[in-house]
């Protein structure tokens, strides 16, 4: 799936992503800093019926949210990891294989811990401040 959108359309984009047939629950986000990974994840979390405010887990590395049905959703920002061993020591693989939603920023920090069977979202900034999103499921 490929979508070009402006940031004011982000909630509609989140709905389209979540409606994608057979969407995997572990999703990596590939984009440069400042392109909108966290903004998109916030919209996805909201569409999954989380009423709490979501934020970037840059310093905590993982944030856990609960849906209205009390199902966990995990949002990872792996930017601050120094190496993959740190991620393994944190038990990231247990989160990734939990069967719950896992949204992962900076997945290249732990390439061997990411499940082979995951979805990938690539976001690029294009002209007029718009974003191009590619979903590979």
- Note the pLDDT tens digit of each residue in 85-97: 999 999 999 999 9
pLDDT at position 103 is 97
Residue whose pair of structure tokens reads 């310093």 in the numeric block: 59
Whether the Cβ atoms of residue 136 and residue 29 lie closer than 8 Å to each other: no
- Coil, helix or strand for 30? strand
- CATH number for the domain including 75? 3.40.50.300
Q: Find the range with the poorest average confidence among 15-19, 61-65, 109-113.
A: 61-65
- Write down the pTM of the prediction: 0.91
Nearest 5°: the CA angle 118, 111, 76 is 70
Which residues span the domain enclosing 107? 2-136
Counted domains in the chain: 1
């Amino acid at each position: 799936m490929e979508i070009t959108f402006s940031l004011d359309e982000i909630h509609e984009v989140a709905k389209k992503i979540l409606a994608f047939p057979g969407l995997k629950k572990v999703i990596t986000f590939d984009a440069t800093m400042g392109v909108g990974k966290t903004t998109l994840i916030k919209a996805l979390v909201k569409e999954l019926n989380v009423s709490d405010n979501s934020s970037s887990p840059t310093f905590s590395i993982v944030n856990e949210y609960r849906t209205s049905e009390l199902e966990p959703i995990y949002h990872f920002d792996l930017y601050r990891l120094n190496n993959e061993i740190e991620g393994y020591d944190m038990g990231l693989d247990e989160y990734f294989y939990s069967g719950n939603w896992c949204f992962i920023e900076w997945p290249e920090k732990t390439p061997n811990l990411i499940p082979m069977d995951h979805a990938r979202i690539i976001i690029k900034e294009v002209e007029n401040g718009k974003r191009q999103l590619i979903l590979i499921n």
